[in-house]
Structure 1
Amino acid sequence: MTQARDHDGDPRPTRLFGPRPAMTGPLLPVLITVVIGLVTLLGGAGTTWLPLLAAAPALAATTQGPRGVLGVGLLAAGLGVALGSRDGSGGAALVAVPAAVLAVTAASALAGALRSRRERVLADVRSVAEAAQHALLKPVPATVGPFEAAVRYSAAAAEARIGGDLYALVPTPYGVRMIVGDVRGKGLPAVGTAALVLGVFREAAYDEPDLLAVVDRIERSLARNLGVDDFVTAVIAGCPRPGVLEVVNCGHAPPLLVRASTRIEAVEPVPPAPPLGLRALTEQTPGLQELSFADGDQLLLYTDGVIEARDRDRAFYPLVEGLERHLSDEPSRTLGAIHEELLAHVGGRLHDDAALLLIRKPLPAPLPPSQLAFPATALDDLAG
């Protein structure tokens, strides 16, 4: 499984430990046993190579269960007895090799059983994490209200499906509303805080006509539940009516607004506001910015895991330049290209969670030729 988890990508499951090559299944330990037997048989080296038969069950333990390990071990022990007897070995010399092979087989079978148990536990944890992902970070459809939309989310923790970054895009009676945020910290506490923020947002987005009231609901909930050092940076946006975009920025990275002319603007917060959960420590309150959002415009929300991703030379990923390179009329294709470029920039593994949410107001469909032609009555009127 790759480090990045694409919530809009291929839903097919992947192995916890990557695909197993064909040669690392039951074939390789048996092949090693046969090769050692042939070398001993054809080389006339007596029992010199027979102790290497213990490598076969040890290797089998890395890919097989206890039954497979025992099968390989018994084959190797039997071959050791047969070759030792053929060369005239007797007494302790004849017993030593099979005994060593059987001892390694017993230890390897136990190790294989423990490994299989750990894999089952990891698979169970993975299934729970996937269920939590779908409950917490719900998939975003390709069309939400009048907008086209796409999401890419990457959890930095190995085998994780969710982390401290959060997003949601919901249609409400007051227009489409969205949030992208970043919880301070990592691990399960961050996931719990993200779940809290998303739950309050989804409820308030349907109830509150004013976007600032939605932000206030989240702030009050976090003030009751977070520690003094905890906070959440977030951008909450909405489109209350056609052609209008509302943005509230609470200490988060500025969204990128792409005009239909492909001009990219960073929506800087005016005035700057503290992150969610810290309002009581300052006298600043978030302000609502109202911008135009015409046909063909796009809005990109993201977390700092994207813009703070570094390459080997410690250079940050240039998100604006990446958006310019990969901008298209399909949000999923745009984010897919940026996502792949981001992973290539960091060498395949992110060190922080990263989320990208892109919406686009599509251009109106052109009228069919039949509706563009003048009706016959209109031509008669013009002729008259």
Structure 2
Amino acid sequence: MFRIKARVPPKVLAMGLPVVWGAMAITYKLACPLAQEDGFGARVVTSAVFFAVGTGLIMHVRQALLRELRQVRKVAGAAQSALLRPLPARIDGLNVAAAQLSADRSACVGGDLYEVVATEHGVRAVMGDVRGHGIAAMGTVAALLGSFREAVHDEPDLGQVLRRLERALARHLRERARDEHPASGLEPDTPVAEEFVTVLLLEIGRDGEITALNCGHPWPYLLTDAGVEPLARTDPLPPLGPFPLPPDLTPLPCGSLLPGDSLVLYTDGVEDARDARGRFFSLKAALIEVVRNHPITPQSILRTLFAALLRHTRGRPADDMALLVLRNDRTRVHCDSLGARGTARPATGNPQPTNHL
């Protein structure tokens, strides 16, 4: 004999208990003689029965909502991990570590993006910040990262990579505008005009030479034996979205990343973080403290900075925050490309950073 077990759908089980409670309350009211009496004791018992049924229903609905919220967080977290996939600990001689902290507690996702890819043109990195945060920003992050991961291999010029990102963003916003207003059937003239993305593109050559294109993003900090300084001080281009890119997109030379030096890329949520008194977080001061501690690794930089940020905001950041650290641990560079910063320095220590805090 074989027994066939029928699987009851979860929705049927979820509705079963409320239906049973409701049936019991109605049966009590219609069939129980005590419920028909008008005495004080009978009224107390009837009120207690309906109060217990109502409380049970409320608790059941609350538990169902909590289960649904946990499922949404789980799905959102998996989507975020697929978009911001863990970076390798080492990419073409550079030690790498990155992490992101979302301000959206309900979904655990944010609008920050980063990626590092080794190509025949050098190591190329992107750091960006989509307007807004949460699940709504994930589509824009996916469009830009997908375009970047293809363009860095196809385009020898960094300016063409940026133009590919601009086209990907415009295409994504047009599609989103059509989805939000499908009834017109017309191509939107200004798709989601208020949307924008700040983007920083970096290219690090085999000799450590750095070139960059910046569209409205904060410049990263360069950590050397001499101290902590911004990678560049020039004004960036406007963010992607509101305005078209200029015809000339010549990458900006930004010096060299010598062995032992580190680059710290970040989104504006880091320096915009405020404490209870409204004071902004000083990233440069925090990095100066990091430089005083040796050995310096990307992992230790991330741990120190995120710990300081959480203390500063009391664990309640108002905006998404992302950090990406690149450290040059190559043993040899071409001396003719070092410029005014002198001869190459040997790599110090043997750090083994990871991408987890």
Q: Which residue does 2:85 correspond to in 1?
A: 138
Report the equivalent of 1:380: none
Residue 319 of structure 2 is aligned to residue 352 of structure 1 = yes
Map of 2:214 onto structure 1? 249
Aligned residue among 64, 76, 86 for 1:129: 76
Answer with 269-278 or 332-341: which moved more: 269-278
C-alpha displacement of 1:366: 8.3
Match of 2:230? Answer: 266
For residues 112-132 of structure 1, the C-alpha deviation after alignment (integer angstroms, 9 at most, x for no partner) is: 221121122112211210221
Distance, in Å, in 1 between the alignment partners of 2:168 and 2:130 is: 14
Q: CA RMSD in A?
A: 2.7
The alpha-carbon deviation at position 354 of structure 1 amounts to 0.8
Residue of structure 1 equivalent to 2:152: 205
Mapped contact 2:196–2:242 kept (Cα < 8 A): yes
Partner residue, 2:12: none
Task: Indicate if the aligned counterparts of 2:109 and 2:134 stay in contact, CA closer than 8 A.
Answer: no
Q: Which amino acid aligns with 2:211?
A: E
Alignment of 1:158-307 (within 5 A): 158-226=105-173, 227=191, 228-259=193-224, 261-268=225-232, 270=234, 272-280=236-244, 285=249, 287-307=251-271
Give the SS at the match of 1:295.
coil
1:101 aligns with 2:66: no
Counterpart of 2:290?
A: 326
- The number of residue pairs the alignment matches comes to 280
State the distance in 1 between where 2:106 and 2:50 align. 35
Counterpart residue identity of residue 206, structure 2 = R
The DSSP-based 3-state class of the residue aligned with 2:148 is helix
Identity of aligned residues (%): 39
- TM superposition shift of 1:243: 2.0
**Please, which moves more after superposition, 167-176 or 94-103?**
94-103
One-letter amino acid of the counterpart of residue 322, structure 2: A
Equivalent residue letter for 1:215: L
Stretches of structure 1 that go unaligned for 5 or more consecutive residues are 1-65, 71-90, 368-384
C-alpha deviation, 1:363, in angstroms: 6.3
Q: Give me the whole-angstrom Cα distance separating, in 2, the residues matched to 1:246 and 1:366.
A: 22
Paired residue type of 1:356: L
What code does the residue aligned with 1:220 have?
A: R
The residue that corresponds to 2:276 in the other structure is 312
State the Cα deviation string for residues 264-286 of structure 1 (Å, max 9, x = none).
Answer: 11023546312123442767746
- TM-score, structure 1 normalization: 0.66
CA distance 1:257–1:281, change in 2 (3 Å)? closer
Deviations for 1:278-310, whole angstroms, at most 9, x for unmatched residues? Answer: 442767746432421110000010011000111
Moved more, 198-207 or 94-103: 94-103
Q: Which amino acid aligns with 1:331?
A: P
Displacement of 1:103 in angstroms is 2.2
1:44-76 CA-to-partner distances (Å, cap 9, x unmatched) read xxxxxxxxxxxxxxxxxxxxxx79xx9xxxxxx
C-alpha change, 1:123 and 1:286, in structure 2 (3 Å) is farther
**In the alignment, does 2:296 pair up with 1:336?**
no
Give, in angstroms, the shift of residue 313 of structure 1.
1.5
Find the structure with the greater CA-based Rg.
1
User: Could you tell me the TM-score, scaled by structure 2's length?
Assistant: 0.71
CA distance in structure 2 between the aligned counterparts of 1:237 and 1:286, rounded to whole angstroms: 13
- Matched to 1:103, the amino acid is F
Correspondence for 1:83: none
Q: Assess if the C-alpha contact under 8 Å between 1:303 and 1:356 holds in 2.
A: yes
Please list every run of 5 or more consecutive structure 2 residues that lacks an aligned counterpart in the other structure: 1-16, 22-37, 174-190, 332-345, 349-357
Residues 269, 232 of structure 1: CA spacing in aligned structure 2 closer, same or farther, 3 A cutoff? farther
Describe how 1:40-79 pairs up with structure 2 within 5 A: none
Partner of 2:317, secondary structure, is coil
Counterpart amino acid of 1:246? T
Q: Which residue of 1 aligns with 2:99?
A: 152
Deviation at 1:110, TM superposition (A): 0.8
Instruction: Flag the structure with higher helix content.
Output: 1
- Mapped partners of 1:285, 1:366: distance in 2: 34
